[in-house]
Every structure is written in C-alpha cells, then in structure tokens.
Amino acid sequence: MFRKSKPAPTPTRIFVLCTGRCGSMTLSRATAHLDNYTSDHEAMTHRTGPDRFNIPEHHIEIDNRLAWLLGRLEREWGDNAAYIHLTRAPEATAQSFAKRANQGILKAYRNDILARSKQRAPKTKLIEYCRDYVDTVTQNIDLFLRDKTHKMDMTLENIGPDFDRMCNWIGATGDLEAARAELHVQHNATLPSKPRKPAKKGLL
C-alpha cells in the first residue's frame, strides 16, 4: 500500500506580481500587521543585478515592475519561491491608469516601450494604451506562473476572503484584525484630475 506524500511546504519568500492600480498598496498596508513576515511595496525598484531579487526568508515583496523582469526572476528563484498574482477587473484597472497616464509606468509604456506611438498612431485613444498595458502585463505574469508549484490568485474585488486564504496558505500570524481593517481603506487612490488653468493672454 502506497502512502500519499505530503505536499511540499510553501516557500517563505513571496513575490506579489501585478499590473499596478489593483490594490497592491492596500495589500502592503495589510501585510505590515503580520508578525512572522516582513513586507515591502516597490522598495527594491532601484536595485540592479542579483540584488534586485535578494529578499530574505519570511518576506513578501509587492512590486508591479517585476512583470518586466520575469526571466531574471525565473533564474534567481524559479520554483523555489511562492507567487501571488494580484488582479483587478481589467477595465477598471485600465480606467484607473487612464486617470494618471502622464506619470509612472503607463507613461513609460506609452512613450518608450511602444516607441514613437504619438507620431505613428496619433488617433489612438488613451484608454486603448491603458487596456493594452493591462493585457500585456497580465499575460506576462500568467505565462510565468503556468508551471509554478506555489502560487495563488488574489483579486481586489474579493480582497477580504482572499487575504484570509493567503494568510492560511503561508501560515501568517499577527494582528489579523488590524490587517483586515486596512483592506477597507482606499490606499493610493486616484485623485480627480485638476482642470487646466487657461493660458494667460500674451504669453507664448
């Protein structure tokens, strides 16, 4: 008679992959209340080389830019880390990016990754670039995760139950009530765009 083997324990180095504008800051604030894990939100984006992925055990790294470094993440950690794919409804994510399209990663995507898009596709609407970005990053992450053993999905729309499921998955402890309370706070919300001031007459 064969005994069923126990599943391998979840690695304690955890990378949260996402597009951005999907609750990553909220998740970071919630995980800050865990006492057996440290966590950071985009704290390593300035690092280069192996140091970019050098995180300690029992740490949760939340960083949307990792979606552009997945080949190196595979080389450094591959199946020896755990991964969470944090998502939000694609259209809601795109609309959120559209409200801050002239800054951050979306600006870089429009102007540099999609090179010369203003000159070659001047009639393309802003929201189309945002949808394209969200789809590109989501597909990058899905492809990276397809052969990973330790992974889970988390959605902004179901963040409460998914957070509890994550804590159970990784064996997280701490002030979970305070952590859950953070999930109801809108962190890093997109502010309404300020109307442009009319140009002063006589100035070029």
pLDDT (tens place) for every residue of the chain, 204 residues total: 445 555 678 899 999 999 999 999 999 999 999 999 999 999 999 999 999 999 999 999 999 999 999 999 999 999 999 999 999 999 999 999 999 988 999 999 998 999 877 777 778 899 999 999 999 999 999 999 999 999 999 999 999 999 999 999 999 999 999 999 999 997 565 554 444 444 333 333
Residue 204 lies in a domain: no
From the list 85, 179, 78, 87, the residue with the least C-alpha distance to 141 is: 85
Q: Report if residue 147 sits inside a domain.
A: yes
For residue 20, the enclosing domain spans 13-89+140-182
Four-residue CA torsion sign, 142, 147, 148, 153: positive
Residue 26's Cβ-side half-sphere holds a number of Cα atoms within 13 Å equal to: 26
Q: Please check whether residue 44 lies inside any domain of the structure.
A: yes
If you count them, how many residues does the chain have?
A: 204
Q: Looking at the 3D structure of the chain, how many domains does it have?
A: 1
Q: How far apart are CA 11 and CA 57, in angstroms?
A: 8
Q: Is residue 163 part of a domain?
A: yes
Q: Is the pTM of this model over 0.85?
A: yes
Position 120 in a domain: no
**Tell me, what CATH number does 35's domain have?**
3.40.50
Residues 6+ apart with CB under 8 A from 156: 22, 23, 26, 86, 87, 88, 89
Measured CA to CA, the distance from residue 84 to residue 7 in angstroms comes to: 18
Write phi, then psi, for 152 (nearest 5 degrees): -150, 155
Cβ-contact 104, 67 below 8 angstroms: no
Q: Is residue 113 part of a domain?
A: no
Residue 31 lies in a domain: yes
